[in-house]
């Protein structure tokens, strides 16, 4: 009876919501957030261990923080900075663990995300173990490439400051339209590339480019909207420090990763819808 009276758009939204419930999207997002939080320390240890062999440790720390700052709430940035500082102080005793932590910590997150995507996309069969690990390691290397690009950009700006006086360098950066546009567009570019790589390569099933691009665009728009709303809430209305005390930073990070995981899985649901209409 309800379907006969409801507008087509409302029925579409209700059907989509029902699909989210059936696929346990909210439960899957929780598992991704939990795994990401547990793996955070190992990931940062590995990044510092690798980048620290090329550049100064504190420069590597700043590069990682700058690369992640557009995508994390303020408390998330604080958590990352604190963890990186602790890693630098203990780096001499965890050199081997750093490398192991990078690969296994990162692949644990990628593996959980892959499993969740396969569930949402209803993939009929899994890849062989060796192939799954290769894909997951490739995703880790892609994340490292993003951080490396940030490091290169920081190095270029540092060279400008050495060649010119600070005032001239600042004026050069301000007047460079290309740098200004790149700075504004880089969060969109990197998030778009990340979503595109996840939807294209991580699931065990290949989808048409039309479906992948639709999912990527949906995830990008949702991510920016959720990011702005969540960051605004944290800075204006939230009283979470009174509730969680010293654990507030970790809790905020987990909630943020949960929201991002929801965005990724909702994009996957859109990909399924677009693929179905194409067939």
Tell me if the pTM is above 0.85: no
Q: Are 168 and 139 in contact (CB under 8 A)?
A: no
- Residue 15 inside a domain? The answer is no
* Separation CA 183–CA 255 (nearest Å): 27
Predicted local confidence at residue 176, as pLDDT: 57
The DSSP call for residue 70 is G
* Separation CA 157–CA 62 (nearest Å): 14
Q: For residue 196, what are the domain limits?
A: 24-278
Structure token pair of residue 46 = 């590995």
* Separation CA 277–CA 264 (nearest Å): 20
- Residue 270 inside a domain? The answer is yes
Look at phi and psi of residue 24 and say left if phi exceeds 0, alpha if psi is from -120 to 50, else beta. Answer: left
- Residue 234 inside a domain? The answer is yes
* Separation CA 118–CA 40 (nearest Å): 23
The tens-digit pLDDT sequence of the chain (279 residues) is 445 545 777 787 888 888 889 889 999 999 999 888 877 766 666 666 666 666 666 766 777 777 677 777 777 777 777 777 776 665 554 555 556 656 666 678 888 888 899 999 888 777 777 777 777 777 766 665 665 555 555 555 555 545 555 555 555 555 555 655 665 666 777 788 889 988 988 888 888 899 999 999 999 999 989 988 888 887 776 666 666 666 777 788 888 889 999 999 999 999 998 888 765
User: Considering its fold, how many domains does the chain have in total?
Assistant: 1
Q: Give CA angle at 64 (83, 95), nearest 5°.
A: 60
Q: Using DSSP, state whether 53 is helix, strand or coil.
A: coil
Residues 6 or more apart whose CB falls under 8 angstroms from that of 205 comprise 118, 121, 123, 124
- Residue 16 inside a domain? The answer is no
Q: Are 154 and 64 in contact (CB under 8 A)?
A: no
- Residue 1 inside a domain? The answer is no
- Residue 61 inside a domain? The answer is yes
- Residue 2 inside a domain? The answer is no
* Separation CA 117–CA 209 (nearest Å): 17
- Residue 6 inside a domain? The answer is no
The DSSP call for residue 94 is -
């Amino acid at each position: 009876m309800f379907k006969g009276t409801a507008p087509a758009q409302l029925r579409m939204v209700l059907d989509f919501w029902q699909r989210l419930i059936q696929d346990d999207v909210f439960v899957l997002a929780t598992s991704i957030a939990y795994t990401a939080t547990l793996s955070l320390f190992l990931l940062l240890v590995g990044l510092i261990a690798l980048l620290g062999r090329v550049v100064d440790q504190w420069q590597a720390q700043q590069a990682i923080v700058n690369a992640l700052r557009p995508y994390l709430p303020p408390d998330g940035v604080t958590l990352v900075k604190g963890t990186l500082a602790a890693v630098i102080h203990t780096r001499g005793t965890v050199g081997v663990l750093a490398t192991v932590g990078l690969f296994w910590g990162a692949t644990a997150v990628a593996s959980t995300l892959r499993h969740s995507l396969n569930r949402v996309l209803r993939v009929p069969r899994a890849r062989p173990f060796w192939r799954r690990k290769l894909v997951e390691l490739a995703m880790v290397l892609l994340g490292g490439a993003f951080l490396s690009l940030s490091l290169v950009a920081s190095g270029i700006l540092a060279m400008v400051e050495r060649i010119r006086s600070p005032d001239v360098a600042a004026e050069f950066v301000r007047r460079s339209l290309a740098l200004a546009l790149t700075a504004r567009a880089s969060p969109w570019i990197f998030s778009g590339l990340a979503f595109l790589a996840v939807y294209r390569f991580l699931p065990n099933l290949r989808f048409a480019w039309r479906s992948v691009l639709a999912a990527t665009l949906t995830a990008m728009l949702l991510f920016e909207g959720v990011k702005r709303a969540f960051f605004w809430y944290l800075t204006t209305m939230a009283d979470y420090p009174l509730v969680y005390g010293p654990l507030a930073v970790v809790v905020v990070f987990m909630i943020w990763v949960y929201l991002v995981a929801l965005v990724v899985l909702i994009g996957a649901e859109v990909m399924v819808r677009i693929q179905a209409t194409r067939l």
